[in-house]
Amino acid sequence: MQVTVVGAANIDIITKSKAKIVPGDSNPAEVKLTAGGVGRNIAAMLARQRVEVDLIAAVGNDPLGVLLRESCTAIGINTDAWIIKSNTSTGVYLAALENNGELYTAFNAMAAPESIRTAELTKHKGLIKEADLLIMDLNLSEKILNLSLELRDGNPVLVDTVSVAKVPRIEKILDRIDILKLNRLEAECLTGITLDTKERVKQACYNIVGRGVKRVFITLGMAGVCAADDHSAIFVPAIPIVVKDVTGAGDAFSAGIALHFDKDLRAQAESGVKLAAEHLRRNA
């Protein structure tokens, strides 16, 4: 299988408080700096599963960009199509975690992926059109999302919504998306439905499918995932894990459903849950 990912590659700075976070105060914490970005994370997890992956990403012409590219190449991601920006810094994601590993708050500076121009992407139209699966994250501008879909010419596309703030970018292109992965908050934003019961989660899934998406996956943390197509909606339970750090778990789920994008709905959902659990075990 050959997969092309178009999305964010950035540096993650993850801080984890040693005690419950006290707002407005200086909290003792552990800090780590790693390669990240939703697109990059999905590509990395697929590469570790021995999938052939091309990543199209934009980074700054700076030391962080060099470090990021070298780390991707080292794990088998093809970075030949990277777009190096001389006037934009490499993206940074900063997350503050509670002492139990749950996300307290996060910030992102994603000017690089949002600055990709149509001419820069069109140079790589072969990678986009000919891949078995195209994966995009919503760190991309609406113009680049639309161009990618045009270049894809109807072949399978998986989209990861990334964050609530970026969900509106897909409002007008839902009917061109084959597979859509969202978390609870992102699904509430897209549908306007409060997902406080299983029935409402199903209702949200059917709302999204009814707007043209072929398959939708809503991740619900330790409550598992709800997956739906135009035939049915199913729940797949999470695998119990003692969580230390949730960072990247959603990206691992997206990689898991990408691995089995051509399988039935349940097999695809179970693959996502399995890969997310494996990722969380490594972080435990």
Q: What is the average per-residue pLDDT within 136-164?
A: 96
Overall average pLDDT of the 238-253 stretch: 84
Instruction: Check residue 212 and give its pLDDT.
Output: 97
Please choose, from the candidates 139, 194, 110, the residue with its C-alpha nearest in 3D space to the C-alpha of residue 5. 139
pLDDT at residue 127 is higher than 90: yes
pLDDT digits (tens, 9 = 90+) for 61-80: 999 999 999 999 999 999 99
Does domain 156-284 correspond to CATH entry 3.90.1300.10?
A: no
Q: Model pTM?
A: 0.91
* pLDDT score for 276: 95
pLDDT confidence tier of residue 252, bands split at 50, 70 and 90: very high
Q: Where are the domains of the chain?
A: 1-135, 156-284
According to the model, what pLDDT value does residue 102 have? 86
**DSSP bridge pairs for 133:** 3
| Interval 188-245: pLDDT, tens | 999 999 999 999 999 999 999 999 999 999 999 989 999 999 999 999 999 988 766 6
Angle between helix 249-259 and helix 265-283 axes, rounded to 10 deg: 140
Would you state the pLDDT for residue 280?
87
Query: Which of 102, 93, 94, 98 lies closest to 23 in space, CA to CA?
Result: 98
Q: CATH topology of 1-135 equal to that of 156-284? A: yes
What pLDDT, in 10s, does the model give residues 175-188? 999 999 999 999 99
Averaged pLDDT for residues 252-280: 96
Question: Residues with Cβ < 8 Å from 173, sequence gap 6 or more?
Answer: 145, 146, 149
For 1-135, the fitting CATH number among 2.60.420.10, 3.30.565.10, 3.40.1190.20, 1.10.3720.10 is 3.40.1190.20
Q: Would you state the pLDDT for residue 247?
A: 75
Mean pLDDT of the chain: 95
